[in-house]
Structure 1
Amino acid sequence: MGKIVKFEYDNQELHKIAVDIRMEVFVDEQKVPAGIELEFEEDCTHFLIYYRRKAVGTARYRIVDDVIKFERFAFLKVARGKGLGRDIMRYMLNDVRPLKKRIMLNSQEYAVNFYKQAGFIICGSKFMEGGIPHYPMEYEAPDIMEKALGLAVCRR
């Protein structure tokens, strides 16, 4: 497992590293407009994951009313396929568990299976964002006890 660091927007050093990773992945590789990448930064809790002492991946979440939105999962090419996405997802799910709110995300079409393996299900129709097909997904708590506690159960 890579080392994971949680931080807030006001940590400008770590925030710059996270934004640089996202710019490389989303703007340079996927040609997403740069302005989209900087939306809601101040409202988010951010994460970096390190591999061999180098920051190679990032993600964030923000709370919008009664929903936690997982966003901006991005990994440098050298970090892909090493299980780091699973690691940061597990860390984030554990981090938000005490909040007992629904957890949602918008998955790029190619990444839907990754999120399904993490316990998310598609809960809406395909849509375009930044020129890329996405699906809305919601965390379906895999455990009856979690459901009893009111953690994210998809409303179909």
Structure 2
Amino acid sequence: MQKQVQVNKINNPADLEKAFAIRHEVFVTGQNCPAHLERANEDEAHHFLAKVDGEPAGASRWRKTADGYKLERFAVLEKFRGLGVGQALVKAVLEDLPANAGYVYLNSQTPAVSLYQRFGFKKVGPEFEEAGMMHYKMVLKK
């Protein structure tokens, strides 16, 4: 049976805590990312929570930086991977950006590059290490 994936922009503290818990499990527990790095810049970000059949499954955010609009912290709990949660999060975040958002970019973990390529992101520059994991900077080509 097809699972129902829904993504909403977070507008209450309870959902924000669910998103933080997902990110903690994926990044801090699962990938040994330092907690202080994982939680940086929270106040200036726009947060999203994905649910599968009503159960919290994934999270993401975007924020305006000096360089442009940065998509960040895409996390999907292991038991929900392969159900399209990551794609639904990317789509929701892109749709939420201001219409005049010029430069849109992200730092993708190397295994996730193909996800972002489906939405028009292109790798720019060499692979690099961030928080103990390999990444590529990717820019949305319109």
Q: TM-score, length-normalised on structure 1?
A: 0.84
Tell me how far 1:97 sits from its aligned partner: 4.9
Counterpart of 1:5 (choices 3, 8, 11) is 8
Distance 1:13 1:46 in 2: 12
Instruction: Determine the structure 2 residue equivalent to 1:94.
Output: 95
Q: Paired residue for 1:43?
A: 44
| Structure with more of its chain in helix, by fraction | 1
Structure 2 spans left out of the alignment, 5+ residues:
none
CA displacement 1:83-114 (0-9 Å, x = unmatched): 11111211111111513321100000111111
Bigger mean CA offset, 116-125 vs 55-64: 116-125
2: CA distance between counterparts of 1:44 and 1:100?
15
In 1, Cα distance between equivalents of 2:101 and 2:135 = 25
Structure 2 counterpart of 1:2, which letter? Answer: V
Partner Cα distance (1:15, 1:99) in 2: 26
Larger Rg over CA atoms: 1
| Number of aligned positions between the proteins | 139
Partner Cα separation in structure 1 for residue 28 and residue 64 of structure 2: 25
> Deviation above 6 Å: which 4+ runs of structure 1?
none
Which letter maps to 1:131? G
Checking the alignment, whether the CA contact within 8 Å between 2:10 and 2:46 is kept in structure 1 is: yes
Aligned to 1:34: 35
Q: Shift in Å at residue 66 of structure 1?
A: 5.0
Greater RCO structure (CA 8 Å; 6+ sep): 2
Cα deviation for residue 7 of structure 1 reads 2.1
Unaligned runs of 5+ in 1: 142-156
**Structure 2-normalised TM-score?**
0.92
Q: Which secondary structure does the structure 1 equivalent of 2:58 belong to?
A: strand
Aligned partner of 1:63 in structure 2 is 64
Q: Percent of pairs identical after alignment?
A: 35
CA distance in 1, matches of 2:27, 2:33: 5
Kindly report the root-mean-square deviation, in angstroms, between the aligned alpha carbons of the 2 structures.
1.3
